[in-house]
Amino acid sequence: MDYQHVQVPFEITLWIMLASLAKIGFHLYNKLPSVVPESCLLIFVGLIMGGIIYGLNDRSPPVMDSDIFFLYLLPPIVLDAGYFMPSRPFFENIGTILLYAVVGTIWNVFGIGFSLYGICQVKAFQLQDVSLLHNLLFGSLIAAVDPVAVLAVFEEIHVNEKLHILVFGESLLNDAVTVVLYKLFRSFCEMPAVKSLDVLAGVGKFFVVGLGGVLVGLAFGLTAAFTTRFTKDIRVIEPLFVFLYSYLSYLTAEMFHLSGIVAIIACAMGMKRYVEANISLKSHTTVKYFMKMWSSVSDTLIFIFLGVSTIGENHEWNWPYICFTVIFCLVWRALGVLVLTFFVNRFHVNTITGKDQFIIAYGGLRGAICFSLVFLLPDFHRKKLFIAATTVVILFTVFIQGMTIRPLVDLLAVKRKRESAPTVGEQIHIRFLDHLLAGIEDISGHWGQYYWKDKLEYFNSKYLQKLLLREHDQPKSSIVLLYEKLERKHAIELAEAGQLAHAPAHPALLNNRAVIAESKLEDTLNLDILDNIQEILARNLYRTRRTGPAYNRHTLPGETEPVEHAKEILILRHRGL
Amino acid sequence: MDYQHVQVPFEITLWIMLASLAKIGFHLYNKLPSVVPESCLLIFVGLIMGGIIYGLNDRSPPVMDSDIFFLYLLPPIVLDAGYFMPSRPFFENIGTILLYAVVGTIWNVFGIGFSLYGICQVKAFQLQDVSLLHNLLFGSLIAAVDPVAVLAVFEEIHVNEKLHILVFGESLLNDAVTVVLYKLFRSFCEMPAVKSLDVLAGVGKFFVVGLGGVLVGLAFGLTAAFTTRFTKDIRVIEPLFVFLYSYLSYLTAEMFHLSGIVAIIACAMGMKRYVEANISLKSHTTVKYFMKMWSSVSDTLIFIFLGVSTIGENHEWNWPYICFTVIFCLVWRALGVLVLTFFVNRFHVNTITGKDQFIIAYGGLRGAICFSLVFLLPDFHRKKLFIAATTVVILFTVFIQGMTIRPLVDLLAVKRKRESAPTVGEQIHIRFLDHLLAGIEDISGHWGQYYWKDKLEYFNSKYLQKLLLREHDQPKSSIVLLYEKLERKHAIELAEAGQLAHAPAHPALLNNRAVIAESKLEDTLNLDILDNIQEILARNLYRTRRTGPAYNRHTLPGETEPVEHAKEILILRHRGL
């Protein structure tokens, strides 16, 4: 027997197998997953396994390696999140999300950091040696809401789309802030004296890290889309490029100390539309399926490792510090959400209700990112205290908050997600209203979201599609695509129910051909009418407005500009009054 | 910038990316792949890259790591080969394949080893220090036909199914022989004296390594099938189990020094049938697609690495030895195929023609397995000579034989693969004949392949299906499954061509409902008839024979045994005369 030789792949495979079998096990009892979130069960399995390892070996079980977490386990989950991100609600609420992610996280970091420093001044707790900088450093790693934990819980409770995207979007985009603050305070801790210039540089880094991530992601995403233009003859490796380019975007961003999470999300969202149009239907099924599978396995492994790593002797149980950490995390988040939402609601018609605010505050779960960051801290004499506090906060949020959020959502009667997908009629109306609003914004000179969406759409169809799509001369409208998809689904359903008309396939077995011929004529007529409707809707709804010279500044800029200038001046003056 | 941190995954991703882009590049020019096999082009890319690395660094480029090859690159290719192996021709020709794989490989090893030892005795070549054992060791690694190289070339030339399975099956199953002989001679080289007991133990190992691999593979395959019984609620991780269990079977076999290739093939062939029935259609698409994708990437990487590793200074260019190695490889293989086929043809009605024999002998390509084995040799003063000879043999077979085999197949007018899939009618006839032959063998008491197939089928439906299938009480006949698949395909085609009958979906838009109702009645009638035919064929064709007491020994053994015994005695006596 030669175990050494196969050890590494064998153990990795066994861990993945264990995780998958645990997942199957939970679903065998249908009642269990509806009461306890899967993440809790997985941490529990991890705790048991950690206990067994600890009992057998009499030393701490291996701790989850931060490198493994950040390089291999996190990217699949974030890629999945970015690729399946509903782009419409995301961009509609991007302002609110950014406010929560940037201002909210900074608020939490400083709030938690300063109040914990206050606690440290109480002599009875024996914590006077923890400096303000160390408290702020701890605040920076404990403040960030974790996308993996949020996803695991919110996927199961089905709250309405807006609420979901607010919490989930925040948890993804706060990565840029966390990265900057964590690294800033870490370097400050090692510096002899902190100059004001360093603080200024830190503020500048926010923009570099966040926007740099977006740019890296978009660059790789568009390259991926461009590459899939040429895969027509080797369909079999098409799915690969989606994974390769997004992973490269993450690694490149990490290499330059930018936000990898932001990069991979930008990459996924940027390429999705073009890749989908370029690759074959089966490739796309594979991409979607494998992404879900991969993220599901990563997610499972993370929670199990989290449980295993909790057991051991690397904790310092100073209970006052730990308890106050949990309390401050809850209090500052609740305050932050209240204050920020107050400002958000003043500028929006569609306000965030009190119930929603409660769920946003209560849904701020912490997870494996905090855990990995605390282990990445440089060694100093209170590191074990921070590890213990982080562990307790994670277990508290995942177990207590994660398990009670579903009953609370039921109790408060928070607005749920609508069950059915929008009908074709609704889609057409939404699109129609979009164009209408873009037109109104165009006329009124208000540069709102519809204006920018329209601009982007124009740039996309004029330049990007030509460059990135294989069959760019006839881009299919999304309504036509939806129609085709529905047709295909309908056909499969018919075939599976055995209702498919066999007229063309087995004509010899039929007695009365004339009847069939007539019914076929009916069908074709029917189809023709439908096709006409689709065509008219898909093509003309957009183009009529675009080609109308009076409202448009793209096509005939020379003629319309003076008029529009005048209008804008008028409107601005009107506002000024 | 922090390159160290992301180096490992970044470089792996870049290599895969380079391989995939190279693949796309070749297919952009349609003429290139039709003249030169892809494997040659990839080795060429590797040679250029190796040259660049050599030129820039002024030292040998990194050599393909044998561990990486055997643990990570080879399994996906073999899994793909095993999973998509056409089981009917494989089992029909299993005797011939085993003869080629076992006897043929031993013949080649000893033939090449002894004749090279003869060459070493020629004083002019300065090779007297290469012992007989070293020559045999070299023979054992150079004799084995490589599945990766064979697959890459034979997939492109489309010879008939039997010829393909003979070469390909041999290349897969000779792994057991290669492993045993290679390890045997390696240990002999390090022993002071070889005893006859060691040789006997070596012979016994053949069976252990081969059969052990089969058993390990089947055990994991059946466990995989059993596991997929319980994945109904979490469809998304279904594909994972196919990959995890087959990889575990490979690693476990390697751990116990059994044949990993044989294990993974047995695992894939064992689980395929049950897994396919248990998992959802989309999961199955993902499994198939991802397997193809993965094996395609592995294959590409192997050939590129082969090219890169060729460049460098670890070669000893003793041309007489190298040239004679190439010649002996060709000659002994040709002789072996001639002699073995002579015996095979005496016992078969469907003989292997002269043209087929030529292609079998000529298609014996060597590849990355030889290359990895030669680098795994313990250091001794002539290792560089062996490396040089192996490199030349691989390049000769892949480039010269690989590029000329297609014109030769055209020139000799070797029987090609039939383009179209068998019709439903043909499938029914084949199945009917199978049952007929099984019945004839049953009556005549001849225990041939149909008899064993029938036994296995009985065991499968009686025990295995009940244990391994989720819906075991109604196992669908393969004809019904095929029919459903055709229906589904047909429906999608209709939907894509816009010909789908909309009658049930949009009744309001139709003028004449009566006509439709009538035509629907016709369709249902038509479907009913078809369904009846299918049902009758699928169920009764098999059962009538099985339940007939006179010909069967499964159902009523007590009653029929005496009659059959008498029959068997009669037949055996008849033969004896």
Q: Which residues of chain A are within 8 Å of residue B248 when distances are taken between CB atoms?
A: 10, 13-14, 17
Q: What is the pLDDT of residue B534?
A: 57
Question: Closest partner residue to A237 among B23, B256, B516, by Cβ?
Answer: B23
pLDDT at B376 over 90: no
What pLDDT does residue A528 have?
55
CB B268 within 8 A of CB B246: yes
Alpha-carbon gap, residue A494 to A500, rounded angstroms: 5
C-alpha B39/C-alpha B44 separation (Å) is 9
Task: Go through chain B and tell me how many residues it has.
Answer: 577
Question: What per-residue confidence (pLDDT) applies to A104?
Answer: 92
Give the SS3 label for residue A504. coil
% of chain A surpassing 90 pLDDT: 15
Cα–Cα distances in angstroms (integers) from residue B490 to residues A107, A290, B157, in the given order = 60, 27, 30
| Contact criterion met (CB below 8 Å) for A374 and A387 | yes
Q: Which of the four pLDDT bands, split at 50, 70 and 90, describes residue B420? A: low
Select from A8, A488, A529 the Cβ nearest to the Cβ of B509: A529
Task: Give the position of tokens 């990959």.
Answer: B243
Q: Return the C-alpha torsion angle A102, A103, A108, A111, nearest 10.
A: 140
pTM of the model: 0.77
- Do the Cβ atoms of A516 and B522 come closer than 8 Å? yes
State how far the Cα of A240 lies from the Cα of A349, in Å rounded to an integer: 44
- Cα A479 to Cα A426, A455, A534, A561: the distances in Å are 11, 20, 7, 33
Between CA B76 and CA B86, with CA B82 as vertex, the angle to 5 degrees is 140
Q: Which residue of B has its CA nearest to A518?
A: B515
B48 vs A414, residue with greater confidence:
B48
Q: Would you place residue B384 in the very low, low, confident or very high pLDDT band (cuts 50, 70, 90)? A: confident
CATH match of B63-412 with 1.20.1530.20: yes
* Strand partners of residue A211: none
Nearest residue on chain B to A30, alpha-carbon basis = B233
Range A281-300 average pLDDT? 86
Distance from CA of A189 to the nearest CA of B (A): 20
Measured CA to CA, the distance from residue B8 to residue A72 in angstroms comes to 11
> Residue B472 — very low, low, confident or very high, per pLDDT cuts 50/70/90?
low
What one-letter code names the amino acid at B533? I
Per-residue confidence band for B213, with pLDDT thresholds at 50, 70 and 90: very high
pLDDT per residue as tens digits for the range A144-158: 888 888 888 888 888
Cα(B363)–Cα(B149) distance, integer angstroms: 9
- Measured CA to CA, the distance from residue A42 to residue A367 in angstroms comes to 13
Of B382, B78, B401, nearest to B250 by C-alpha is B78
- B501 is written with which tokens? 């009958």
Name the β-bridge partners of B207: none
CA trace torsion A113, A114, A119, A121 (10° rounding)? 120
pLDDT higher than threshold 90 for residue B216: yes
In eight-state DSSP terms, residue A146 is P
Q: What are phi and psi of A220, to 5 degrees?
A: -70, -35
Question: What is the three-class DSSP state of B504?
Answer: coil
Q: Tell me the C-alpha distance between B383 and B377, whole Å.
A: 7
Is the pLDDT at B251 greater than 80, yes or no? yes
Cβ–Cβ under 8 Å, residues B205 and B180? yes
pLDDT of A540 higher than 60: no
Q: What average pLDDT does range A254-273 have in this prediction? A: 90
The ipTM of this complex is 0.74
The chain-wide mean pLDDT, for chain A, equals: 79
Q: Can you read off the two tokens belonging to residue B402? A: 């690989």
Q: For residue A240, is pLDDT > 70?
A: yes
B296: chain A residues, CB-CB within 8 Å: 234, 236-237
What percentage of chain B exceeds 90 in pLDDT? 15
- Residue B128, classed as helix, strand or coil, is coil
pLDDT digits (tens, 9 = 90+) for B337-346: 999 999 888 8
Q: Which tokens belong to A33?
A: 């997953």
CB B387 within 8 Å of CB B374: yes
Query: Residue A253's pLDDT is what?
Result: 92
The three-class DSSP label of residue A416 is strand
Query: Got the DSSP string for A257-313?
Result: TS-HHHHHHHHHHHHHHHHHHHS-HHHHHHHHHHHHHHHHHHHHHHHHHHHHHHSSS
Q: Do B13 and A244 touch (CB under 8 A)?
A: yes
Distance CA B428, CA B107 (A): 42
Distance CA A397, CA A400 (A): 6
C-alpha dist (Å) from residue A523 to A518, B494, B498: 9, 12, 10
For chain B, the domains span: 63-412, 424-468
Q: Are B216 and B238 in contact (CB under 8 A)?
A: no
Q: What is the pLDDT, as a whole number, of residue B250?
A: 94
A/B interface, count of CB pairs below 8 Å: 250
Average model confidence (pLDDT) across chain B: 79
Whether A262 contacts A272, CB under 8 Å: no
DSSP secondary structure of A25-67: HHHHSTHHHHHS-HHHHHHHHHHHHHHHHHHHHSSPPPPPPHH
- Smallest Cβ–Cβ distance between B282 and the set A247, A252, A289 belongs to A289
Average pLDDT, integer, range B61-71: 80
pLDDT-derived band of residue B516, with 50, 70 and 90 as boundaries?
very low
Q: Measuring CA to CA, how many Å separate B353 from each of A441, B171, B410, B411?
A: 79, 20, 16, 15
Per-residue pLDDT, A332: 93
Q: What is the predicted pLDDT for the residue at A577? A: 54
Say what the pLDDT of residue A500 is.
Answer: 59
Mean pLDDT lowest for which of A6-20, A519-533, B487-501? A519-533
Closest residue in A to B282 (Cα) is A285
Helix (H, G, I), strand (E, B) or coil at B499: coil
Token duo for residue B79: 């899994």
**Quick check: B470 pLDDT over 50?**
yes
- DSSP codes, A177-193: HHHHHHHHHHHHHHSSS
**b/e map of B88-97 (b: 16 or more CB within 10 Å)?**
ebbbbbeebb
- Compute the half-sphere exposure of residue B522: CA atoms within 13 Å on the CB side of its CA: 23
Residue B159 phi, psi dihedral angles, 5° rounding: -80, 175
Contact (CB, 8 A) for B368 and B148: yes
Q: What's at A552, amino acid-wise?
A: N
Contact list, A530 vs chain B (CB under 8 Å): 502, 506
Q: Collect all residues of chain B within an 8 Å Cβ-Cβ radius of residue A19.
A: none
C-beta of residue B300 within 8 angstroms of C-beta of residue B22: yes
State whether B67 and A247 contact (CB < 8 Å). no
Question: Is pLDDT at B552 greater than 70 in this prediction?
Answer: no
B426 versus A164: which is more confidently predicted?
A: A164
- Structure confidence by residue, pLDDT tens digits, B427-453: 778 878 888 888 887 788 777 777 777
The CA-CA-CA angle for residues B30, B36, B38, to 5°, reads: 80
| Per-residue exposure over A524-549, b if at least 16 CB sit within 10 Å of its own CB, e if not | eebbeebeeebeebbeebbeebbeee
Mutation test of the interface with chain B: which of A12, A31, A34, A255, choosing the one with the most B Cβ atoms within 10 A? A255
Measured CA distances, A148 to A57, A194, A305, B526 (Å): 31, 34, 13, 53
Residue reference for tokens 């996308």: A147
Q: Which residue has the higher pLDDT, A572 or A37?
A: A37
Between B495 and A73, residue with greater pLDDT: A73
Indicate yes or no: CB of A495 within 8 angstroms of CB of B487. Answer: yes
User: Cα B450 to chain center, whole Å?
Assistant: 23
Spatial contact of A22 and A40, defined as CB atoms under 8 Å apart: no
A369, A390 Cβ separation under 8 angstroms? no
Q: Where do runs of H (alpha helix) occur along A311-414? A: 319-346, 354-362, 368-375, 383-395, 402-412
Task: Specify the DSSP element, H or E, that contains A347.
Answer: none
pLDDT of B278-309, one tens digit each?
888 888 888 888 888 888 888 888 888 888 88
Q: Which residue has the higher pLDDT, B378 or A511?
A: B378
Residue B216's nearest CA partner among A294, A28, A6 is A6
Average pLDDT score over residue span B466-483: 65
More confident residue, A445 or A136: A136
Q: Does the distance separating the beta carbons of A500 and B487 come in below 8 Å?
A: yes
> What are the structure tokens assigned to B70, written together?
């055997």
Percentage of chain B modeled with pLDDT above 70:
82
pLDDT band at A419 (very low <50, low <70, confident <90, very high): low
CA–CA distance, B537 with A343 (Å, rounded to integer): 73
- pLDDT the model gives residue A257: 87
B522·A512 Cβ contact <8 A: yes
Structure tokens at A350: 């569609």
Interior angle at CA A209, CA A257 and CA A91, nearest 5: 135
Averaged pLDDT, A185-205 = 79
Residues of B whose CB is below 8 A from A12: none
- Could you give the CA distance from residue A32 to residue A364 in angstroms, rounded to a whole number? 24
For residue A530, name the pLDDT band (cuts at 50, 70, 90).
low
CA-based torsion, B25, B31, B37, B43: positive or negative: negative
The torsion angles phi and psi of B452, rounded to 5 degrees, stand at -70, -35
Please say whether the beta carbons of B329 and B366 come within 8 A. Answer: yes
d(CA A344, CA A361): 15
